[in-house]
Structure formats: structure tokens, C-alpha cells
Amino acid sequence: MSPPPRVFHCDDSTAFRVLVREMLHDLGDVEMVGEAGTLPVALAALPDARADVVLVDLFDREREQELLGLIGRAAPDARLLLYTGMPEDRVPEGADGHVHKSVSFEELNRLIVEAARR
């Protein structure tokens, strides 16, 4: 049996990060290895986190490609899932998928596990 996917969550809402952490912990299929409320904190923490999957809510849509590139360089072996409240019909270059914040935590958990296996 393989170890659970290691997940790093980057979102500017502390309350939402805590909720996601607790809900995913209760489901037990992933290991939360870090979180950040700002991009600079995420970029500093990601190299040591050794995450398999990074969940990220984009803070600045105008600089989307630049931000995805920075995160990708900080965690080059991780899958990058946009986890946003913005409706998307595309996955931007540099991201491996898009998950809307309205999905259930069970579905989020499944998508994380699936992304980690790719």
C-alpha cells in the first residue's frame, strides 16, 4: 500500500484553510504537510514540504501564469490543483486541474488522490 498523498494548501482565508485541513484529516486519505495564507509564505515553505499535490487559490488573476510558474518552480514534483471559487472552463498552463470550492470534501479528497497518482 502506498503512503497517502502529501498536500500543501495555499489560500488567503485562514478559516477556509482550517476547514479544509480538518475535513481532509477526518477522511484520512491524505496527509496535510503545510499551508500558507500568502504567496511568499507558500514559496518559502513548499521546497521543504515535499508535497505531492498543491491546492492553490490564485490571489491575483492578472498574474496567473507568473504565479503558477513560481509555485511550479518551488514544488517541481507536485501536481498543482487550482482550488477556487471562480468558475472555470479551462485549466491554465502550469496547472494540472481545477477544483471548484463548492465540491464536497469527499470529492476534493478523491481528486487529490487521483492527481497524486498521475
Cα 11 from chain centroid? 9
How much is the pLDDT for 61?
67
Are 118 and 82 a contacting pair, CB within 8 Å?
no
Domain 6-117 coded CATH 3.40.50.2300: yes
pTM of the model: 0.92
How much is the pLDDT for 75?
96
Share of the chain above pLDDT 70, in %: 95
Helix (H), strand (E) counts: the chain: 4, 5
List the domain boundaries for the chain.
6-117
